[in-house]
Structure 1
Amino acid sequence: MPDVSVRRAGPADHPTLERLWLMFRHDMSEYSGVLPHLDGTFRRERLDSAIADADWAAYLVTSGRHPVGLAFVRGLSAPARVLNSFFVVRAARRAGVGLRAVREVVAAHPGRWEVAFQEENTGAVRFWRRVAADIAGEAWSEERRPVPGRPDVPPDTWISLDVPAPARPGRDVPGSVT
């Protein structure tokens, strides 16, 4: 597996996140049918929230010194966190980068998790089901939900799973004395 690092993005990472965001939105346009704005950009409300909203977290994924992906989490204070946006550049796909990135992001925020994807995106279908099984074994669920405000598009598929908090040495271990 390549040298992969996942870290919370800081202000110096914002230009890199903006560029990765454009690649992500370009990839998703195949399934959403959304064209870029006249200036070549795509809507960026989720990017702006991930950077500025205290209830969101933006992560940068790197391989060596190269940026290869992003992950945006919303609902940090909610009962369920949502992996709102997730992207790995094509050259880094199918090498374990995505699975490792998801593991690290969800481990940073234990608890209930949800992620949505489109059934037409067959690569995402395989990836997210493999991620759910890897993280939660058989203890995950899947359901289709309408896209809010978009009756013209097929429902999204949502995966839900629980990520336990890591055991603390000498604590949280059955039979240990605290």
Structure 2
Amino acid sequence: MTNSPESAPTRLTIRAATPADRPVLERLWLLFRHDMSEVTGALPGPTGQFRRERLDATFTDPGRSGFLAHLESDGAPPSPVGFALVRALDGPARVLTSFFVVRGARRGGVGRELAAQVLASYPGRWEIAFQDANPPAVRFWRAVATDAVGRAWTEQHRPVPGRPDLPPDTWISLTTG
């Protein structure tokens, strides 16, 4: 993977997150929730932090997993640039619960490669939710699904549990081999 001709060549690495990665994931989580607040209207709590139950469960629930993406460039220390959190590893369908790439690493293939590697890590049924109010996410997840399985994916709207005040989420379902 390379950036523009003026920048140094970069290499993307993606690996399963470990408990030692928790501080990095916590920092990326704040950026993720901040970005999503534009779509969801969520505000931080009194301590300045957003809700993080999904992140915390990644480190306590054996049915969950996390992935961390780094970009490395010409001997510089690797920069964490994204993450993916997955739940229901022990269920009939894995669910991609959270996905984030920092703005400076977007539009260069980092997100699509991260998504592809996560989907390939657990072959089988997958479900991915996003909001129609986030047009880049709509385009991104449809492209990821098509990259993964061609046209063999479905999309539907589902109400947000316990939140009748919110518009329904859009869910993509697919099966990887």
* Alignment TM-score, normalising by the size of structure 1: 0.91
RMSD: 0.7
Q: Name the residue aligned to 1:111.
A: 124
Point out the structure with max Rg over C-alpha: 1
Q: Secondary structure at the match of 1:39?
A: coil
Q: CA deviation at 1:16?
A: 0.1
Which residues of structure 1 form unaligned runs of 5+? Answer: 165-178
Q: Partners in 2 of 1:94 and 1:51 — Cα distance?
A: 29
Q: CA deviation at 1:39?
A: 1.2
Q: Name the residue aligned to 2:176.
A: 163
**Aligned partner letter, 1:29:** S
Cα deviation, 1:64-118, whole Å, max 9, x if unaligned, reads: 1000001000000101000010000000001000000011111110000010000
Q: Partners in 2 of 1:11 and 1:112 — Cα distance?
A: 27
Q: Secondary structure at the match of 2:144?
A: helix
Aligned partner of 1:43 among 26, 45, 51 = 51
Does residue 18 (structure 1) correspond to residue 18 (structure 2)? The answer is no
Q: Partners in 1 of 2:13 and 2:58 — Cα distance?
A: 19
Which residues of structure 2 form unaligned runs of 5+? Answer: 2-9, 73-77
Q: Name the residue aligned to 2:105.
A: 92
Q: CA deviation at 1:12?
A: 1.2
Q: CA deviation at 1:50?
A: 1.0
Q: Partners in 2 of 1:105 and 1:123 — Cα distance?
A: 20
Cα deviation, 1:34-63, whole Å, max 9, x if unaligned, reads: 110111100110000112210000111111
Q: Partners in 1 of 2:46 and 2:12 — Cα distance?
A: 35
Q: Partners in 2 of 1:11 and 1:161 — Cα distance?
A: 29
Q: Partners in 1 of 2:87 and 2:24 — Cα distance?
A: 20
Q: Secondary structure at the match of 1:69?
A: strand
Q: Name the residue aligned to 1:74.
A: 87
Q: How many residues align?
A: 164
Q: Name the residue aligned to 1:174.
A: none
Q: Name the residue aligned to 1:169.
A: none
Q: Name the residue aligned to 2:133.
A: 120
* Alignment TM-score, normalising by the size of structure 2: 0.91
Q: Secondary structure at the match of 2:80?
A: strand
Q: Partners in 1 of 2:161 and 2:11 — Cα distance?
A: 38
Q: Partners in 1 of 2:37 and 2:16 — Cα distance?
A: 26
**Aligned partner letter, 1:38:** P
Q: Percent identity?
A: 59
